[in-house]
Amino acid sequence: MRRPILAANWKMNKSAGEAQAFAEKLLPAIADASSLDVVIAPPFTALDRLGRALGGSAVELAAQNVNAEPAGAHTGEISVSMLLEFGCRYGIVGHSERRAIYGETNGQVAAKAKALQAAGIRPIVCVGETLEERDGAETLSVVGRQLDESLVGVAGKELVIAYEPVWAIGTGRVATPDIAQQVHAFVRERLGTLYGEVADSIRIQYGGSVKPDNAAELMAQSDIDGALVGGASLESDSFAQLVSIVARAVQA
């Protein structure tokens, strides 16, 4: 059985002080969350303070991005060893905002995921189609290509995939559970081609306008192993609700 994983992607939101205050409210509210992995990806500038505030709890830190090079002339970038200093256990790579706004390619995503794995940090590799691609019936070919090219040289062990239809991110438009399950099943099949039996243990998160009122139905799908959450992860109350919804889905 795959252990569910709920991850918060705060994007470019929250100061270090706000991150600390969030942790202080969240931790007492999720004291019974032992049946899933809970992860928070704050901005780099809040990693230190959030890590201290979470210290001793089971909630783990993630990076929202990383540079694949170990060090050197890369102004404005952060390396894997810098993330390790803050105790990051996960790293999001290939988020659609990085692909669309910063031109991140599948090849770069693969290089970042490999660099993370070499340091023992688990990559969360994001894939997903745009609305235009969905309307053009290209979802599976786009997602398939993203997987094939973003996972070159990436090990299946400890890998996490996030399927995030771009049209559902931050829009309030969530994929129906059936649509999400169809794509997740396809992703697992493709992972089977790439990794064989290991594919059964790879966790696939759904992302795109996940909220407390739609999470239970999504989590009930057989190939959905958790969620990557933007907007609803910014308030500790709604994130704590999501933690208990995912925990209940596991027990069901």
Residue for token pair 């790579």: 93
164 tagged catalytic: yes
Of the listed 60, 104, 129, 164, which one is catalytic? 164
In the complex, the smallest distance separating the C-beta of residue 174 from ligand PEP, rounded to whole angstroms, is 8
- Backbone angle region of 126, left / alpha / beta, with phi > 0 → left and psi within -120 to 50 → alpha: beta
Residue of minimal Cβ distance to ligand PEP: 230
C-beta closer to ligand PEP: residue 4 or 230: 230
Output the six-digit token pair for 72.
């050197």
Of the listed 60, 95, 129, 184, which one is catalytic? 95
Provide the CA 205 distance to its chain's centre, in angstroms: 7
Is beta strand 160-163 parallel, antiparallel or unpaired with respect to 203-207? parallel
Pick from 252, 191, 229, 194: nearest CA to 5: 229
Output the six-digit token pair for 243.
């933690």
In the complex, the smallest distance separating the C-beta of residue 72 from ligand PEP, rounded to whole angstroms, is 29
Type of residue found at 52: R
- Our finding on whether 55 is near ligand PEP (CB under 6 A) is no
In the complex, the smallest distance separating the C-beta of residue 12 from ligand PEP, rounded to whole angstroms, is 11
- Our finding on whether 124 is near ligand PEP (CB under 6 A) is no
- Which residues contribute to the site for ligand PEP (CB under 6 A)? 9, 164, 169-170, 207-210, 228-232
| Active site (catalytic) residues | 95, 164
